[in-house]
């Protein structure tokens, strides 16, 4: 089963992907995490992605598509995957469809997590991430038990540089200009289900699991 989580930065894709991956026993593939790991390890890929990530714009398609396709064609993704942060424009979506079709596979469901703009800005502004396991926290909505430490692995929490106000504005602009077009693309393909992304994390999870299970 291949599932895409679609939504603006701050919609909760990462948080929900972790729960859904556990529930459905699927691998979680997050492009932002892959780029951040590459950046931390200073690989060629990381260096190529750096300037784009810092500006809050999309890393060029040829780099991104190759990275994701390589990842989802690894044996651990044979049973399927949850894609978080990919595709982010129609060109990426087409490349993904074409590559999966070559192996007689296809995207099963696209879950669009809808959250109002003001809420996105407030979520991104208060977001803290674990440096080790990438678990997200929010200083007001979901603070860690011990300040600055991850509840799951004890790792150090940090604020992503691209969660600073100017970059957030840019990322939201990119989202509304490029990524939101995918809502139409997947609606036409009959694959999109919209889920309200506001409210309690567990409630949103339940809505997403129900949307996937009823997909048939």
Interaction of residue 171 with ligand AMP, rule CB under 6 A: yes
The alpha-carbon radius of gyration of the chain (Å, integer) is: 16
Interaction of residue 186 with ligand AMP, rule CB under 6 A: no
Phi-psi label, residue 128: left if phi above 0, alpha if psi -120 to 50, beta otherwise: beta
Q: Three-state SS string across 124-157, please?
A: HHCEEEECCCCCEEECCCECCCCCCECCCCCCEE
Q: Which of 2, 35, 128, 137 binds ligand AMP (CB under 6 A)?
A: 35
Piece in contact with ligand AMP (CB under 6 A), picked from 82-90, 116-124, 180-188, 206-214: 82-90
Piece in contact with ligand AMP (CB under 6 A), picked from 18-26, 80-88, 118-126, 189-197: 80-88
Non-local (6+) Cβ contacts of 174 within 8 A are 56, 57, 58
* Residue corresponding to tokens 């919609």: 11
Interaction of residue 182 with ligand AMP, rule CB under 6 A: no
160 is catalytic: yes
Task: Select 157 or 162, whichever has its Cβ closest to ligand AMP.
Answer: 162
Instruction: For residue 67, give both structure tokens.
Output: 């990275």
137 alpha-carbon distance from chain centroid: 15
Residue 31 Cβ vs ligand AMP, minimum distance, rounded to whole Å: 3
* Site pattern 131..150 for ligand AMP (x: CB under 6 A): --------------------
Q: What positions carry a catalytic annotation? A: 13, 88, 127, 160, 171
């Amino acid at each position: 089963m291949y599932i895409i989580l679609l939504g603006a930065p701050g919609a909760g894709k990462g948080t929900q992907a972790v729960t859904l991956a556990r529930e459905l026993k699927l691998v979680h593939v997050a492009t932002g995490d892959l780029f951040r790991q590459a950046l931390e390890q200073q690989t060629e890929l990381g260096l190529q992605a750096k300037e784009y990530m810092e500006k809050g714009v999309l890393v060029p398609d040829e780099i991104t598509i190759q990275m994701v396709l390589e990842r989802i064609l690894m044996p651990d993704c044979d049973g399927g995957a949850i894609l978080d942060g990919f595709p982010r424009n129609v060109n990426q979506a087409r490349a993904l469809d074409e590559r999966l079709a070559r192996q007689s596979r296809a995207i099963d469901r696209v879950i669009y997590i809808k959250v109002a703009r003001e809420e996105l800005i407030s979520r991104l502004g208060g977001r803290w991430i674990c440096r080790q396991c990438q678990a997200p926290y929010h200083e007001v909505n979901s603070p860690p038990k011990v300040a600055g430490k991850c509840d799951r692995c004890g790792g150090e929490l940090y604020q992503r540089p691209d969660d600073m106000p100017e970059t957030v504005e840019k990322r939201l602009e990119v989202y509304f200009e490029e990524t939101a077009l995918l809502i139409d693309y997947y609606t036409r393909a009959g694959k999109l289900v919209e889920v309200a992304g506001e409210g309690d994390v567990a409630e949103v999870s339940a809505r997403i699991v129900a949307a996937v299970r009823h997909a048939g």
